Each structure stands twice: as C-alpha cells, then as structure tokens.
C-alpha cells in the first residue's frame, strides 16, 4: 500500500511522477519538466507502480502530441 505523501520517481528523463492514495485508488500525476504540462489519472492501488507510471506517461505523451499538433 502506498503512503498519502507525494513521491517523485523520474524513471524517464524529463518526467516527474507523484502518487497520492485516495481510498482504494491512487491519483498519479505526471509532469513534463520541459514544458511544465501536467496530467493526472486514477488507478486502483493494486496496480504496480510501474504500470501506474506507464498509464500516466501514455496520457502525458498524448497531451503533448495534441498540443504539438495544434501549434503546427
């Protein structure tokens, strides 16, 4: 079980993750260090931390791609 305090784990260069347990779920925040863009998602606490990071990173990449597409 994860603690209620935020933890940062940058497994990929330029991305910060924070985890906040809310009941039986975990709120995962992914922040792109270069742009400051932040996304969050919710996952069950039974999911592995690696899977939570993957989920949040996929969402962050999607948002960054959409923003890049809109700027071109």
Question: For 56-66, how does the pLDDT look when each residue is reduced to its tens digit (9 = 90+)?
Answer: 999 999 999 99
Does the pLDDT of residue 67 top 50, yes or no? yes
21: left (phi over 0), alpha (psi -120 to 50) or beta: beta
CB 27 within 8 A of CB 42: yes
For range 30-52, the mean pLDDT: 95
Question: 11-38 burial string, b = 16+ CB within 10 Å, else e?
Answer: eeeebebbbbeeeeebbbbbbbeeeeee
Does the pLDDT of residue 19 top 60, yes or no? yes
For range 23-46, the mean pLDDT: 96
> Would you place residue 5 in the very low, low, confident or very high pLDDT band (cuts 50, 70, 90)?
very low
Kind plus residue range of the DSSP H or E element containing 53: helix 49-71
> Would you place residue 32 in the very low, low, confident or very high pLDDT band (cuts 50, 70, 90)?
very high
């Amino acid at each position: 079980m994860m603690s209620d305090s935020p933890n940062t784990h940058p497994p990929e260069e330029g991305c910060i993750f924070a985890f906040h347990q809310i009941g039986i779920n975990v709120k995962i925040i992914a922040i792109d260090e270069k742009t400051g863009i932040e996304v969050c998602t919710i996952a069950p606490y039974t999911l592995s931390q690696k899977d939570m990071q993957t989920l949040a990173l996929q969402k962050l990449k999607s948002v960054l791609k959409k923003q890049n597409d809109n700027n071109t």
